[in-house]
Amino acid sequence: MAKCADDRKEEAEKYKFTANEHFKNQRYNLAIEFYSKAIENYPDEAIYHGNRSFAYLRTECFGYALTDATKAIELDKNYVKGYYRRASAYMSLGKYKMAVKDYENVVRVRPFDKDAKLKMTECQKVVQMLLFQKAIAVDDKKSVADSINLDAMTIEDNYNGPALEDGKVTEKFVVELMEHYKEERKLHKKYAYKILLDIKVYFEQQPTLVDVSIPDDSKFTVCGDIHGQFYDLMNIFKLNGLPSTSNPYLFNGDFVDRGSFSIECIFTLFSFKLLYPDHFFMSRGNHESVTMNQMYGFEGEVRSKYTSQMGDLFTEVYNWLPLCHCLNNKVLVMHGGLFSEDSVSLDDIRKTQRNRQPPEEGIMCELLWSDPMPGTGRAVSKRGVGLQFGADITKKFLDFNNLDYIIRSHEVKDAGYEVAHAGLCITVFSAPNYCDTMGNKGAFITLRGDTMEPKYVVYAAVEHPPVKPMAYASSPLLRLFS
């Protein structure tokens, strides 16, 4: 017999209570599961959609968060938290003007809400800042790199950290740099700028899709997101050995943001790239972009440890990072995933113009943002950018391009990795206990050139100094998410 409305509401409330407990304990995926059960039982309650929206925000499913918040507002136009949630989703998606409108709605409903007024004002400042930047921008603007004068930078007598040798990265320099960073010390700005200028020149000469040859008897390691977790990066090298000509690595994007040791991570990785250019590889992730860096801490960290000018230089460097790598003509490695069209070829990727901020659609966007999903076909992205693709899409792409499987990153996985689509789509995520809250393992993949069969190494997080994730994201943008 069908349950009456009161019974359904009562059961939904029980699910909501369980979901709230999971949320409090930072088990966001379980919270989403139970909020969804509450919605299934009683879909007309705005709070259930609003709460699930908040959980989706925590798991960076900004597209789903936006949909839920909008549904909550449709159900109850006076539900203030719905506007808050939707504004946060809009901000995460870079839709700042839409976020302002939602905060204005909150202020209309609650004119004496000081927090709402503050967030509206801060959001308006962000919009004005972006408009100003757009107004002063010119197409032929001189690059930041061209404005750097290294000769004017002096090395103080009391500096006793690692030093470049004749302006070059050496093995000694990288080893000393890592030890220097472990002691929570800073690389001199002259050497930091020199590394950035040199790596920019190098990446400018690289193709959008890099072909990598792995000899039959050689090991090759693929790592996923690092997200500023320097001490976990050091643990990878402890477990798997330092990069070298005989121990090559590929780091598959999202080197920075979230974790508060992003500077240490990126200069370590760039140093290894300069030291072993043919045996150390780096792909761009969606967090190697201005919007993400403003939102999730890297911009603030660079400004705190160096200068805002260096932040602009990082942007120029990130624009030249390759978008993907093809290993032995068999395995394609990208940060995000596959495409909205079945006919995308490797040559199409090679022809993609990458020296820019990620667009909202097309090959570059999808390489950085897309995610696999169970089942078949394509679906709207849970993130609000890119798309979700099923097993049939993966199979078609691989067959069309004569590839064996793909490796991608971009998503937290409890075990550090996940094998999907009948083994054709592998996710690897190398930041354990992501943001000090997720409790996940980290993983990396090793391959041998003769078999190209993936092997997985799983590890737990290691201790780090007591600096919280996103410690440098103290701008108005961070407060918009509180």
How does 43-59 read in b/e, with b if 16+ C-beta sit within 10 Å? eebbbbbbbbbbbbbbb
Does 267 lie in the same domain as 366?
A: yes
Angle (CA) 117 122 128, round 5°: 125
Q: How large is the average pLDDT for residues 128-148?
A: 73
What is the CB-side half-sphere exposure of residue 16 using CA atoms within 13 A? 20
Q: How large is the average pLDDT for residues 214-235?
A: 98
Choose, from 279, 287, 335, 464, the residue flagged as catalytic: 287
How do residues 56-66 score in pLDDT, each as one tens digit?
Answer: 998 889 999 99
78 occurs within a structural domain: yes
Final residue of a structural domain among 136, 162, 181: 136
Does 162 lie in the same domain as 70?
A: no
* Residue bearing the bigger pLDDT, 140 or 85: 85
SS3 for 159-215 is CCCCCCECCECCHHHHHHHHHHHHCCCCCCHHHHHHHHHHHHHHHHCCCCEEEECCC
Does 101 lie in the same domain as 171?
A: no
Count of domains forming the chain: 2
Task: Tell me if 66 sits within 8 A of 74, measured CB to CB.
Answer: no
Task: Tell me if 352 sits within 8 A of 208, measured CB to CB.
Answer: yes
Catalytic (active site) residue 287: yes
142 occurs within a structural domain: no
Q: How large is the average pLDDT for residues 312-316?
A: 97
* Residue bearing the bigger pLDDT, 183 or 138: 183
Q: How large is the average pLDDT for residues 140-168?
A: 91
How do residues 98-125 score in pLDDT, each as one tens digit?
Answer: 988 998 888 888 888 888 788 788 778 7
Torsions phi, psi for 173 (to 5 deg):
-60, -45
Does 104 lie in the same domain as 27?
A: yes
Torsion of CA 45, 48, 54, 58, to 10 degrees: -160
Does 160 lie in the same domain as 47?
A: no
Residue span of the structural domain in which 63 resides:
5-136
Torsions phi, psi for 406 (to 5 deg):
-115, 150
Chain mean pLDDT for the chain: 93
Does 204 lie in the same domain as 122?
A: no
141 occurs within a structural domain: no
What was the pLDDT predicted at 103?
Answer: 87
In which region does residue 375 sit, left (phi positive, over 0), alpha (psi from -120 to 50) or beta (all else)?
A: left
Report the distance separating Cα 140 and Cα 348, nearest Å.
Answer: 27
Question: Which pair of tokens denotes residue 14?
Answer: 């029980």
**442-448 and 219-223 strand pairing:** antiparallel
Does 208 lie in the same domain as 105?
A: no
Does 300 lie in the same domain as 195?
A: yes
How do residues 161-187 score in pLDDT, each as one tens digit?
Answer: 999 999 999 999 999 999 999 999 999
Q: For the chain, how big is the Rg over CA atoms in Å? A: 23
Q: How far is CA 117 from CA 11, 103, 278, 425, in A?
A: 37, 8, 53, 46
376 occurs within a structural domain: yes
73 occurs within a structural domain: yes
What was the pLDDT predicted at 142?
Answer: 79
Does 254 lie in the same domain as 109?
A: no
What was the pLDDT predicted at 1?
Answer: 47
182 occurs within a structural domain: yes
Domain CATH for 37: 1.25.40.10
Final residue of a structural domain among 136, 168, 187: 136
Final residue of a structural domain among 105, 136, 167: 136
Q: How large is the average pLDDT for residues 472-481?
A: 57
What is the CB-side half-sphere exposure of residue 46 using CA atoms within 13 A? 16
Does 203 lie in the same domain as 119?
A: no
What is the torsional sign of CA 339, 341, 346, 347? negative
In which region does residue 219 sit, left (phi positive, over 0), alpha (psi from -120 to 50) or beta (all else)?
A: beta
pLDDT of 477 above 60? no
Does 90 lie in the same domain as 159?
A: no
285 occurs within a structural domain: yes
Report the distance separating Cα 418 and Cα 193, nearest Å.
Answer: 38
pLDDT > 90 fraction of the chain, expressed in percent and rounded: 81
Does 383 lie in the same domain as 447?
A: yes
Angle (CA) 213 214 217, round 5°: 150
Neighbouring CB atoms inside 10 A of 407's CB total 23
How do residues 67-102 score in pLDDT, each as one tens digit?
Answer: 999 999 999 998 999 998 999 898 888 788 898 899
Report the distance separating Cα 220 and Cα 245, nearest Å.
Answer: 11
Domain CATH for 424: 3.60.21.10
